[in-house]
Structure 1
Amino acid sequence: MSHLLPLLVTVPIVGALVPVVLGARRPVLSRRLTAGVLVGQVGLAVAVLVGVAATGPRTYVVGGLPAAVGIGLRADAVSSVFVLLVAVAAAALSLTVRTETTGPTDSLWLLFVAGLTGIAVTADVFNLYVFLEISGLAAYALVAGRRGTRAALAAFHYLVVGTIGATLYLLGVGYLYVATGTLAMADLRVALAGIGYDSPLVVTAFVLVTVGLGVKLALFPLQAWKPDAYAAATPDVSALLATLGSTIPGYALVRLVFDVFTASFLDAVPLVRGGLLVVGVASVAAGGFLALRQSDVRRLLAYSSVLQMGLVVLGIAIATPAAVTAALVLLVANAVAKGGLYAATGVLADTFGATTVDSYAGLGRDAPLTAAAVGVALVSLVGLPPTVGFAGKWYLAVAAVDARAWVVVVVVLLSTLLSLAYAGRVVERLYLAPAGHGVEPVAADGGGHAAVPSGDRAVAFVVVAALATVLVGLGSTALAAWFAPVVEGWL
């Protein structure tokens, strides 16, 4: 099964060449081949997951080079889930929500998949940077692909902030290499303990790496790029970014903290743990408050992601098995719910010209299936049973009580109230407000080109995503048990 690991990255990278070569001359063939690559990626991800279940974690070093300097790959019970999430989400969104495809955007879509998959399976910190850049550059270009100055400015903002974040991460990697002489995660775990966790070099590396990834997660106060990018992009791109753009860097942060620096580092440097708690609390409070102030639904959902990622950071700060499991489950929960919600915003914008909370008035009657799916996904963001969002918050609250982290308990409750407030605004307009007068569908970029999803396939994706929040929630105990061997090994 180990030989499948490099294929997870090389297949979408090589596949990205096909639309460039055939896109202009044979557009239909190019689209079909792109779809074939994405479906094949799902097959590879499933094969890796099944292999991990059968034989345990697998590793691979490209070219047989020493692990300390080679391109190392690793798949375990946790990373295989996120590899599958990337493959399924990218394929499903491409086959259902996308309506206007071109050779360049198909290539960027595949490169985005390759980069995020690489982040999930890489076994060294430098190549994690390389894959961050691949996925980041693809994301910037996908946002810029929408016509109009709004998308161009949002993509430029995204590019500048994302580049700063990646640079900070790379500086942190440089400090790690200077301190240890290795880039392999397994070797770093041992070497950092030998150097001493309170070494200024190690602490500086941790701060730089965390801040760099914090930009990708859009943690407060580094979140300003996200609402602009998500609101300016086409609905298919915003759904892709909302599902995966912060989820996989979030997994990377969890893995680096516990598989490289380890929980012992947090115990040895209480100031770092305190910093994570402050960032988590601030992200929850700021994300919820800013979401309440938004009239544009896509911006509201973007700020709600800031809140959700704040909860993930709180799980990291508590650093117990239950808390780390909560962080991982919350990442999955946010991904599934946001993918469906952003796809739904495209459906409602295409059909009714509705892009603001007020313009959703009465759509529960006009688009009952889509509105119901939106309501279920919002319930998951609030954290109510039986959704996966509830499971993540429950694990976090239990972990906080066990650790006597009463501030975190209060913040979890606060996050539920804030989420209920902004989600309640949307649900109230959908079902209780008088029907609005509606407007003609108009592209958000002001260019008059409504590149938005429509039809039964997009609605089907929205419904399936909503059902997935419930099904994964009902199976959350099994998901936590699946994560348990890796999480316990970290701690």
Structure 2
Amino acid sequence: MSSALPVLLIVVPIIAAVVPIALGLRYDRTGWSVAAVTTTGLFAMSVSLAATVFVDGASVTHELGDFPPEYGIELVADPLSTLVVLLVTLIAAGVLAITRLGGPRGNVFYTGYLLLTGGLLGLALTGDVFNMFVFLEIVGLGTYALISSGDGPESAVAALKYLILGTIGASFYLIGVAFLFMATGTLNMAELADVLQNGTLDQQQLSLVRTAFAFIFVGFSIKVAQWPLHTWQPDAYQHAPDGVTPLIAALVSTVAAYALGRILFDVFGPEFLIQTPYASEIIVTVGSVSVVAGSALAAIQTDVKRMFAYSSVSQFGLVVAAYGVVTETAFTGAVIHLIGHGILKAGLFGAACVVSLGYGARTVDEYAGLARERPVSAAGVGVLLAALVGIPPSAGFVGKWYIALGAVQAEAWPVAAVILLSTMFTLAYAARVLEKMYFTPPAETAHGSDGSAGTSQVATDGGTGDQMTDSPDGVSFGMIAFVVVLAVLAVAFGFAGGALFDLLEPFTSEVFH
């Protein structure tokens, strides 16, 4: 069915991104209010869209302009893209509870925030491979701006590294799109799928399509931070402002990984991946190596944000490896794991912001005694870390379960093995943090010689620190609520695995049968 909701979800945040700058000519610090109203409205629209897709059982499409399909722009909301839209709007609205007090401040920052949100929604909803490139660039522009909004030179360097590598990744993807267009004469995903999956390509066209696949996979491997193309991600997550990291860690690479899965299965199709020599083996190898490398590197980190960044390299590697298994169960597990990972990393990086602002701790050693000083924050970190390990019932468990089940069904034993190995590594670094929080006395260097947390008042959009906080250390109730709500969602997600599998069944059955 046709609806204007998909186009509104993209257009509204992009237009709203202009408002903070325009209001900034007369008023200071109106950006947060504009972003809050906009993202709340986007979440309401995404819920309405989900009701149509999941309750009514009808995919929603919208064609922009009266152009032929091979050149026109089409937006598609099906069960897969709608789940991603719900995740993006939920996290984008929720992270504002962090930025209101934790910063950064200023109208220009919220312009970048809304621009990034609109680009992510466009990336989720587009039904056209060229416009996927356009939205990749919009996401890149927003991400560069947010990472560089920190005060120190490290933020600028991290943003520059992401700018260089991100541009290379997008260029590889665009070259792949050009080869696809040369082979098929269309850019529409549905028409590409018809051409590529009906077996009518001649040898020259097939060579062009295989070349396109190679460029697209390498381009997205950079965007999804697969080892050894991952080097932008740890620096970006570590040196981005604390209020920014929950957004980019939860959504940027997550939506890129979704887009990769969309291209692999909805455009090229499972048969192409199986019949193309070494295609599935390369995907599994890249993903499996990223799982092991990311987990091992995370286990040796001392900075908490950098540890979580390398953890993301591992988790996205698991998703890519699941794509290479090429079974319906593994693909569904990969999507569920992506959504769950977005929730977990938003919560963990949100908790890192709370602890940094209210307790002055950034390294694992500085988390000593956190459970005594900040019991609610420590409990949130503990629940989220347990979910990241994959302890049932949790968001981390249900995705891994379906991926492992799909790997066993396909006799892809290396994937099953790396799931076990990565779980052990994840348990190792999660246990380090938990041990410091709950079983190590507070260190004087973490919070002062009297055992009390240091103060960190931050002037924010909409008021002073004293007006916004529920404690004298500058941590607001909204920041703590954000962490607690996501910790609860991480557990609830573990009970929803079967329901999510059923929600995705219309899409996966069409792709795999």
Amino acid in structure 2 at the alignment position of 1:69: Y
Q: Which moved more, 1:374-383 or 1:299-308?
A: 374-383
- How far the C-alpha of 1:267 sits from its partner, in A, is 1.2
1:23 deviates by: 2.3
Match of residue 166 from structure 1: 170
What is the correspondence of 1:398-413 to structure 2 with a 5 Å cutoff? Answer: 398-413=405-420
**Is the 2:173–2:219 Cα contact (8 Å) retained in structure 1?**
yes
Matched, 1:368 2:355: no
Q: Is the 8 A contact 1:352 1:438 kept in 2?
A: no
1:118 paired with 2:122, answer: yes
Q: Secondary structure at the match of 1:60?
A: strand
**Aligned residue type for 2:476:** G
Q: Is 1:8 matched with 2:33?
A: no
What secondary structure is seen at the aligned counterpart in 1 of 2:278?
A: helix
Q: Is the 8 A contact 1:345 1:355 kept in 2?
A: yes
Deviation at residue 225 of structure 1 after TM alignment: 0.6
Paired with 1:142 and 1:24, the residues of 2 have a C-alpha distance of: 21
State the alpha-carbon separation in 1 of the partners of residues 147 and 330 from structure 2: 34
The equivalent residue for 1:478 is 499
- Number of positions where the alignment pairs a residue of Structure 1 with one of Structure 2: 485
Match of 1:107 among 93, 105, 111: 111
Contact kept, 8 Å, 2:340 with 2:490, in 1: the verdict is yes
CA distance in 2, matches of 1:278, 1:419: 20
Q: 1:276 aligns with which of 283, 288, 292?
A: 283
Q: What secondary structure sits across from 1:469 in the alignment? A: helix
Preserved CA contact (<8 Å) 2:97 2:482: no
Give the aligned partner of residue 458 of structure 1. 479
Matched, 1:57 2:51: no
Deviation at 1:64, TM superposition (A): 2.6
Letter in 1 for 2:9: L
In structure 2, which of residues 71, 76, 79 is the aligned counterpart of residue 77 of structure 1?
79
Amino acid at match of 1:146: G
Whole-Å separation in 2 of the counterparts to 1:131 and 1:186: 18
CA distance in 2, matches of 1:487, 1:289: 33
Stretch deviating more after TM superposition (11-20 or 427-436)? 427-436
Aligned-pair CA distance for 1:28: 5.0
Alignment partner of 2:140 out of 131, 136, 141:
136
Equivalences for 1:244-323 in 2 at 5 Å?
A: 244-323=251-330
Question: How far apart are the structure 2 equivalents of 1:449 and 1:211?
Answer: 44
Q: Secondary structure at the match of 1:236?
A: coil
Q: Kindly indicate whether the alpha-carbon contact (under 8 Å) linking 2:28 and 2:107 is maintained by their aligned counterparts in 1.
A: yes
- CA–CA separation in structure 1 for the residues paired with 2:99 and 2:397: 27
Residue type at the aligned position of 2:148: A
- Residue 2 of structure 1 aligns to a residue whose secondary structure is coil
Other structure's SS at 2:244 match: helix
Secondary structure in 1 matching 2:402 = helix
Shift of 1:296: 0.3
User: Paired residue for 1:330, among 329, 337, 344?
Assistant: 337
**What are the superposed Cα offsets for residues 270-318 of structure 1, whole Å, 9 maximum, x if unpaired?**
3111111110111011001100111000000000001101110111011
Deviation at 1:2, TM superposition (A): 1.4
Q: CA deviation at 1:45?
A: 0.8
Contact kept? 1:350, 1:450, Cα under 8 Å: no
Distance 2:29 2:359 in 1: 29
- Check whether the contact 2:274–2:326 (CA below 8 A) recurs between aligned residues: no
CA distance in 2, matches of 1:220, 1:24: 44
Provide the residue aligned with 1:47 in structure 2.
Answer: 48
Pairing 1:38–2:42 present: no
Q: What residue number does 1:152 align with?
A: 156
Where 2:100 maps in the other structure, the secondary structure is coil
- How far apart, in 1, do the equivalents of 2:346 and 2:126 lie? 25
| Alpha-carbon contact 1:333-1:380 (below 8 Å) kept | no
Give the CA deviation at 1:200: 2.2
Query: Residues 37 and 181 (structure 1 numbering): CA distance in 2 closer, same or farther, change over 3 Å?
Result: same
Can you list the C-alpha shifts for 1:102-123, whole angstroms capped at 9, x where unaligned? 1111110000000000010000
Separation in 2 of the partners of 1:40 and 1:201?
43
Q: Which AA in structure 2 matches 1:134?
A: I
Kept in 2: contact 1:298–1:342 (CA 8 A): yes
Q: Deviations over 1:95-147 (max 9, x none)?
A: 34432331111110000000000010000100000001001111001111111
Alignment partner of 1:386 is 2:387: no
Name the Cα RMSD after superposition.
Answer: 1.7
Question: 63-72 or 156-165: which moved more?
Answer: 63-72
Q: CA deviation at 1:261?
A: 0.3
TM-score (norm 2): 0.92
Q: Is the 8 A contact 1:67 1:184 kept in 2?
A: yes
Please report how far the alpha carbon of residue 55 of structure 1 lies from its aligned counterpart in structure 2 after TM superposition. Answer: 4.3
- Taking the aligned partners of 2:425 and 2:369, their CA distance within structure 1 comes to 23
What is the identity percentage for the equivalent residue pairs of Structure 1 and Structure 2? 42
**SS of aligned partner of 2:74:** strand
* Unmatched 5+ stretches in structure 2: 449-455, 461-473
Contact 1:354 1:438 in 2 (8 A): no
Alpha-carbon shift at residue 450 of structure 1 (Å): 7.1
Residue type at the aligned position of 1:51: T
TM-score, length-scaled by structure 1: 0.96
**Conservation of the 8 A alpha-carbon contact between 2:98 and 2:243:** no
Q: Deviations over 1:409-452 (max 9, x none)?
A: 111111111111111111111111222114469xxxxxx99799
- Name the amino acid aligned to 2:413: W
How far apart in 2 are the matches of 1:210 and 1:465? 32
Give the Å deviation of 1:14: 0.7
Q: For 2:303, give the aligned amino acid.
A: D
Shift of 1:401: 1.1
**Match of residue 69 from structure 2:** 67
- The separation in 1 between residues aligned to 2:81 and 2:131, in whole angstroms, is 16
For the residue of structure 2 that corresponds to 1:246, the secondary structure is helix
Distance 1:24 1:238 in 2: 28
Distance 1:223 1:55, change over 3 A: same
CA shift, 1:474, in A, is 0.8
2:20 matches 1:19: yes
Give secondary structure in 1 for the equivalent of 2:61: strand
Give the alignment partner of residue 177 of structure 1, picking from 175, 181, 206: 181
1:196 offset after TM fit, Å? 5.7
Which sections of structure 1, spanning at least 5 residues, go unmatched?
442-447
Secondary structure at the aligned position of 1:312 is classed as: helix
Structure-1 separation of matches of 2:81 and 2:221: 19
Using the alignment, how far apart are the partners of 1:376 and 1:481 within structure 2? 26
